[in-house]
Amino acid sequence: MKTAKGILLWAILFAMVFPLLWMLRVSLLPPDSALNLTDLLAGSWAFITYIDIFSGGNMLRFFLNSAFVGLTVTLGNILFCFMTGYALSRYRFIGKKFWFYSVIFVLMIPTHIIIIPLYLLIFKMGMYDTFWALILPFLVNPIGIFLVKQYIDTLPNSMEEAARIDGAGEFRILFRIILPLCRPALAVLAIQVFLTNWNSFLFPFILTSSESVRTLPVALALYQGHQAIDWPHLMAGSSLAVIPVLLVFLVFQRHIVSGITAGAIKQ
Amino acid sequence: MKSRAIYGHLFSAPWIITFALFWLYPLAYSLYLGFTDYRLMLPDYNWVGLENFRNLMHDSDFLSALKNTFIFVLGTIPLTTVISLLFALLLEKNFRGRTLFRSAYFMPSITSMVVIALIFTNLYSRGGYLYLLADMLGLSPPPNGFLLSSKTALYTIMAMDVWMSVGYYMLLFLAGLKSIPKELYEAAEVAGAGAMRKFLSITLPLLKPVALFIIVINTIKSFQVFIEIFVMTKGNYGTSTAVYFIYDSGLSRFQFGYASAAAYILFVIIALFSIAQFKLLKSRPVQ
């Protein structure tokens, strides 16, 4: 019984990681290799694909574009989700309930509905095919606000009250007192936003067209248009898209899991 | 208190602006567009009433895209839900190496969908490993590979999707399992309940909220399947889905009005499905 379960667990594990291992192995083959078993197991190991990528060329640019957009959007979300979450948790103001419901509303809405109008809006704002299009609409997100609000709801407000009596302003309270307390929630938020944005395809795809602002997933998806697919290079580019995610995952596993499960259990 | 209200507005301003500009306005705008013949950024366009919706009902491309979307949703969700629950049950108990298995099973779901789709494009193609495996098992795969045949393309994409997402839902089920009080199992054991009885009377009913959550979010997500279709088949071989249709008519052929109408039809379908799932799963009393 024990060994049967063990065999099952390892078999599933193999099925889950095989495609990713395949990707890594193919990325380390010389570009003219056949992708058969002999080459895969006994074939030579070459770093030519990675050397090609890092010696300039477009793939490196797409990687850097993705990193730039991902980091900017993540910073924006840390700041703005935090501010909004705090406001919705602590202040009383007209329309607060409405804005909270707007967060829940956007959380549940299928995004496909805004593909066409967002494209037209971005176009008319003159942001089509610029980094603005990839950043501005995504600087704050409902899941992040929800996460921060729930977290701040659990904090006692005695420290804020004390600070207020001491004459501290609202900005000072927000950034000097509450922000440090929210670090755990903001870490979860940052990782989630970065991973989502790093993997994001649909909006970068429809909101840009030129290579100077193309992100890595878009570049990989469009790469296929070429006649004969150069799998080693394509898989090297893919590895470039996957390796940062795996690193983030290995380092911050706990945060990722708690971020995912937080929403589900609150239901 | 009153004087501080201004800070409430100020601090939530980033969200208020984003919500109004990038969500509320597009939502209203696309509803309006659905009733017009706006296309190709032409400066003048007309209100055409329900014409787009009527035409869509007779558009065989749209209808087959809808049909494929339903096949995708109804085919993947039961499989994904059951398999992810099984994975969670397998990995619930504490044993050495549990974290390794959990991480490995979860890994595909944080990997870029584009990359996964590219890898499987190769694995499913003629001579790819999954093709060879199917051949070895005597399943006689289509001669040009799984993705170049309308008999298999959609189903193999669905299989990939299940493979990719079970790890994610497994984590949600694991969190659900963890929240079940251990005392319940102890009490059941005292009362002489077997493993099966405990599973049916305690685990399953108490997992219902998590299961409902999983099914609802997976439904919303699966109705919008697009990336894998775009990367793997470009909607050919009977794989066009509703969002692929919206993309194709809206952003390849620039029929903004027509595509917006299609988007709203899908929107209503998703809303009805979600509401129905809530009603169905909530109404059954917990035993």
pLDDT in tens, A152-172: 888 888 888 888 888 888 888
B177 to chain A: closest CA residue: A265
Q: What is the pLDDT of residue B262?
A: 94
Is the pLDDT higher at A72 or at B98? A72
pLDDT tens for chain B, residues 1 to 287: 457 888 888 999 999 999 999 999 999 999 999 998 888 877 788 888 888 999 999 999 999 999 999 999 999 999 999 999 999 999 988 888 888 898 899 999 999 999 999 999 989 988 888 888 888 898 888 888 888 888 899 999 999 999 999 999 999 999 889 888 888 888 888 888 888 888 888 888 888 888 888 998 899 999 999 999 999 999 889 899 999 999 999 998 899 999 999 999 999 999 998 888 888 776 654 44
Of A5, A80, A224, which has the smallest distance from its Cβ to B15's Cβ?
Answer: A80
pLDDT, average across residues A124-143: 93
Closest CA to B164 of A158, A15, A174, A66: A15
CB A140 to CB B18 under 8 A?
Answer: yes
Q: Which residues between 162 and 181 in chain B have a beta carbon less than 8 angstroms from any beta carbon of chain A? A: 163, 167-168, 171-172, 174-176, 179
Report angle CA A85, A86, A89 to the nearest 5 degrees.
85
Q: What is the pLDDT of residue A164?
A: 86
d(CA A147, CA A167): 29
d(CA A123, CA B36): 19
Is residue B269 helix, strand or coil?
Answer: helix
d(CA B73, CA B269): 12
Q: Is the pLDDT of residue A265 over 60?
A: no
Q: Is the pLDDT of residue A1 over 70?
A: no
Per-residue model confidence as pLDDT tens digits over A30-46: 877 777 776 777 777 88
Closest CA to A145 of B25, B24, B16: B16
Domain spans of chain A?
A: 56-265
**Token pair listed for B255:** 């029929």
Domain A56-265 -> CATH class = mainly alpha
d(CA B266, CA B68): 13
Q: Which residues between 78 and 117 in chain A have a beta carbon less than 8 angstroms from any beta carbon of chain B? A: 79-80, 83-84, 86-88, 91-96, 99, 102-103, 106, 108-117
Of B101, B116, B263, which has the smallest distance from its Cβ to A115's Cβ?
Answer: B263
* Tokens 């939530």 sit on residue: B12
Q: Is the pLDDT of residue A83 over 50?
A: yes
Q: Is A19 on the interface with B (CB under 8 A)?
A: yes
Q: What is the pLDDT of residue B1?
A: 47
pTM, two decimals, is 0.89
Q: Is A34 on the interface with B (CB under 8 A)?
A: no
Q: Is A242 on the interface with B (CB under 8 A)?
A: yes
Q: Which residues of A touch B24 (CB under 8 A)?
A: 102
Percentage of chain A lying above the pLDDT 90 cut: 41
The full set of domains in chain B, from first to last, is 44-283 (1.10.3720.10)
Mean pLDDT of chain A: 87
Of B24, B111, B256, which has the smallest distance from its Cβ to A116's Cβ?
Answer: B256
Q: What is the pLDDT of residue B141?
A: 86
